[in-house]
Amino acid sequence: MRAIHRIAIAALLLPALLVGCSRDQDPSSRAEQQARAEVRAGVVTVSGDDSISQTLTWRVPAVQIPQDGDTRARKRADAALAVGNLYADGDSAIPLYLALAQRDPKNKAVQDGLRRALRALLAEGEEALTRADDEIDALRKAHEIATVARAVDGGDEAVQAFLARIDTADTLWELNREGEHALANAQYGERGGGALAKFREVLAIKPEQPRAMQGVAAVESALIRRAELAGEDGDFATAQRWLADAVKLRPKMTTVRDAGERIERMRSARIAQLRDAGIAALSQYNGLATARKRLADILLIAKPGDPIAAELRQRIDLAQHYGLYRPGQTFTDAMKNGGRGPQMVVVPHGAFRMGSADDDRAAADNEKPQRNIRFDRGFAMSATEVTVGEFRRFINATGRKTRAMRRGFSMAYDERSGNFARRSNVDWFSDYAGRLAGDDQPVLHISAKDADAYAKWLTEQTGKHYRLPSEAEFEYVLRAGGTGMWPWGDGAPPVGSGNFTGARDVSPNGTRRWSNAFNGYSDTYWGPAPVGHFKPNVWGLHDLSGNVGEWVADCWHDNYRRAPKDGAAWVNPGCRTRVIRGGSWASSPAQTRSAWRAPAGVDNTNARVGFRVVRDI
């Protein structure tokens, strides 16, 4: 320890200065240099609770040592050092060692004790510095220790190194403090300067310092919030500019990407809202101007080629010439309790020949006489059978107890016997074998009355008239302009055209095949497929033939004599038997024909029958 006795003597005579070490070249600002100069001079101006320190000096506490008490005093110093009492008062180790060194500068035991005390003091200071990045009291403690260390031996290399670390800690604290004040004043510095510059300066000195990294993350969060506020105001161009600034700060993190997705959802919701307002305007008197204004609003915020903008533009063009709807158009209706109804497809008006021709050898008498039906107005039909997920919304909203639930069973498929058998606790949420069905499966185990109740609920929810299709409407859409025996024409079904009984289909356990099936055909399903899985017909509707048979609105009649000529449902009050149309996954080829129809009791439920809905337009 170089010249420790000289330092010790000086410390008794002069106030110790606060720590600091000079640099030949200091790149910091003038204000920062001045602040550090004040620290070195033992003066720090307190401007707030987060200022580095109050004015600190350290004077060696008065020590009383009798003329013959050196040995006892050294033992007191050694004991104080052992318990970590280093400099607090006259009974602390360093003041005692310093007093002893003044009396006997050449005493090696005293010099050794003072050296050990200094090392303990620096260790305590280093521990304080480990917490000094974000604890002001720890940094102040380090300053206090620094004044004592300089008083003991300011020229010691370890003391000098500690003073240099104090200087760095001061710089980091002040930069972080300035950055945080700038952040609090919304001076983020995304274009230079501001909080970001301060935090980056910290990280240049001490990479990955947690406080500065948190500051950068806070700047990022602030820019994201600005973007979200711009999105909430519908200013998505500005929102994207803020996100572009934010993503530069922490490019490896997902926060900006997540925020971008939230803002895109805002954009989508806003566009959908404007689209809905435009469509609603088209049904009002002189609503074209309003619809065009909503389209202009969409174009201001939509990305180029946005499909919703294109859809509304097309609707406006069509409304000008054809009214609100067009053939082939798909839409969903908003529901009062939130969400939207099933996807509907507008069926074109037109005419067709209903029933079986006289030369159809597979025809039954109930499919005759063949007759001409004309629809003077189009209607909308759900693109698929009603799904389990869609039916669940109805059940949750109404609390309805279906027929199968009330009686506790339905008819489900049993693979071991290859037959349909009564099974307990099978209901609308069950699949064809009685297991839990997926939300994208067509709903099964539904009576005709359950299907009617669902359509009535849709009517109440949307304010539009939903119902089951008439038998004539169903066959009209199933044929879709065709005149063949089957919806696809004549012969075997094309690959991927539907869920039919194919000779190449095999049951799940591999033990069963269809005995009466389309030769060479396979759709890979034994049981219903998820709705919309197969190709739609030319009018955009799926699975009208195959997958599941479907309830229609008509009461059962043995033939078409005296049936309505306009295609409306043929209904008798209180009828107990309704019509099933379309065939199913377990129907023979003959039951898949376009003209096929079958009777079923209104309370029947089983694994082969579902339904879809029609909406008047």
What are the tens digits of pLDDT across the range 477-526?
A: 999 999 999 999 988 899 999 999 999 999 999 999 999 999 999 999 99
Write phi, then psi, for 406 (nearest 5 degrees): -65, -40
- Match 């007759």 to its residue by tokens: 371
Indicate the pairing of strand 614-616 with strand 379-382: antiparallel
Q: What is the pLDDT of residue 315?
A: 84
Sorting pLDDT into bands at 50, 70 and 90, what band is 51? low
Mean pLDDT in residue range 524-536: 96
CA angle 318, 320, 326 (to 5 degrees): 25
Q: What is the pLDDT of residue 50?
A: 65
Mean pLDDT in residue range 55-75: 87
Distances (CA, A) of 475 to 367, 506, 607: 11, 30, 22
**271 contact partners, CB below 8 Å, separation of at least 6:** 298, 301, 302, 306, 308, 309
DSSP 3-state of 478: helix
Mean pLDDT in residue range 574-591: 96
Indicate the pairing of strand 549-555 with strand 614-616: unpaired
Give the model confidence (pLDDT) of 13-45 as tens digits.
Answer: 223 222 333 333 344 443 344 333 333 332 223
CA-based nearest residue to 375, from 408, 355, 351? 351
Percent of the chain with pLDDT over 70: 90
Asked which of 70-79, 137-146, 310-319, 575-584 is least confident by mean pLDDT, the reply is 310-319
Q: What are the tokens at 135? A: 């604890």
Mean pLDDT in residue range 567-586: 96
Asked which of 192-196, 321-325, 563-567 is least confident by mean pLDDT, the reply is 321-325
CA-based nearest residue to 462, from 334, 346, 344, 338? 334
Q: Indicate the burial class of 175 (C-beta count within 10 angstroms; 0-12, 13-18, 19 or more).
A: buried
Give the model confidence (pLDDT) of 280-299 as tens digits.
Answer: 998 888 888 999 999 999 99
Q: What are the tokens at 535? A: 């190709």
**215 contact partners, CB below 8 Å, separation of at least 6:** 176, 179, 180, 183, 195, 198, 199, 202
Q: What is the pLDDT of residue 286?
A: 82
* 411 vs 24 pLDDT, higher one: 411
pTM: 0.52
Q: With contact defined as beta carbons under 8 Å apart, do 371 and 355 qualify?
A: yes
Q: What are the tokens at 62? A: 């008065």
Residue 428: pLDDT over 80:
yes
Residue 316: pLDDT over 80:
yes
Q: What is the pLDDT of residue 53?
A: 52
**152 contact partners, CB below 8 Å, separation of at least 6:** 4, 7, 8, 11, 94, 98, 114, 117, 118, 121, 159
Count of residues for the chain? 617
CA-based nearest residue to 474, from 580, 321, 402, 399? 580
Distances (CA, A) of 566 to 102, 377, 470, 478, 560: 122, 10, 11, 17, 13
Query: Mean pLDDT of all residues in the chain?
Result: 89
Q: How many CA atoms lie within 13 A of 575 on its CB side?
A: 16
SS (H, E, C) 56-87: CCECCCCCCCCCCCHHHHHHHHHHHHHCCCCC
Residue-wise over 108-147: b if at least 16 C-beta within 10 A, else e?
eebbebbbbbbebbbebbeebbeebbeebebbbbbbbbbb
Residue 2: pLDDT over 80:
no
Q: What is the Cα–Cα distance from 90 to 96, expressed in whole angstroms?
A: 7
Q: 350-400+435-616 falls under which CATH superfamily? A: paralog of FGE (formylglycine-generating enzyme) (3.90.1580.10)
Mean pLDDT in residue range 585-613: 97
Distances (CA, A) of 122 to 21, 43, 85, 145, 169: 16, 22, 13, 7, 15
Mean pLDDT in residue range 144-157: 93
Give the model confidence (pLDDT) of 360-406 as tens digits.
Answer: 888 999 999 999 999 988 899 999 999 999 999 999 999 999 999 99
Q: What is the Cα–Cα distance from 199 to 182, expressed in whole angstroms?
A: 11
Alpha carbon 288 to chain centroid, angstroms: 36
Distances (CA, A) of 592 to 59, 155, 224, 481, 587: 105, 101, 57, 17, 7
Q: What is the pLDDT of residue 54?
A: 54
Q: Indicate the burial class of 510 (C-beta count within 10 angstroms; 0-12, 13-18, 19 or more).
A: exposed
E-state strands within 339-494: 344-347, 350-354, 371-375, 379-382, 409-414, 419-424, 466-467
Q: What is the Cα–Cα distance from 169 to 164, expressed in whole angstroms?
A: 9
Distances (CA, A) of 556 to 290, 353, 381, 598: 47, 20, 22, 8
Mean pLDDT in residue range 178-187: 93
Q: What is the Cα–Cα distance from 613 to 167, expressed in whole angstroms?
A: 78
- Match 């720590």 to its residue by tokens: 19
Which helix or strand (DSSP H or E) is residue 34 part of? Answer: helix 30-40
Residue 594: pLDDT over 90:
yes
Which residues, in sequence order, are bridge partners of residue 424? 409
Query: For the chain, what is the largest distance between any 2 Cα atoms, rounded to a whole number of angstroms?
Result: 138
Q: What is the Cα–Cα distance from 534 to 25, expressed in whole angstroms?
A: 76
CA-based nearest residue to 335, from 457, 439, 428, 453? 457
Q: What is the Cα–Cα distance from 161 to 164, expressed in whole angstroms?
A: 5
- Match 């004549």 to its residue by tokens: 490
What's the N-to-C CA distance of the chain in angstroms?
99
DSSP 3-state of 109: helix
Alpha carbon 464 to chain centroid, angstroms: 32
Q: What is the pLDDT of residue 323?
A: 59
* 617 vs 363 pLDDT, higher one: 363
Mean pLDDT in residue range 79-94: 95
DSSP state of 18: P
SS (H, E, C) 453-465: HHHHHHHHHHCCC
Sorting pLDDT into bands at 50, 70 and 90, what band is 617? confident
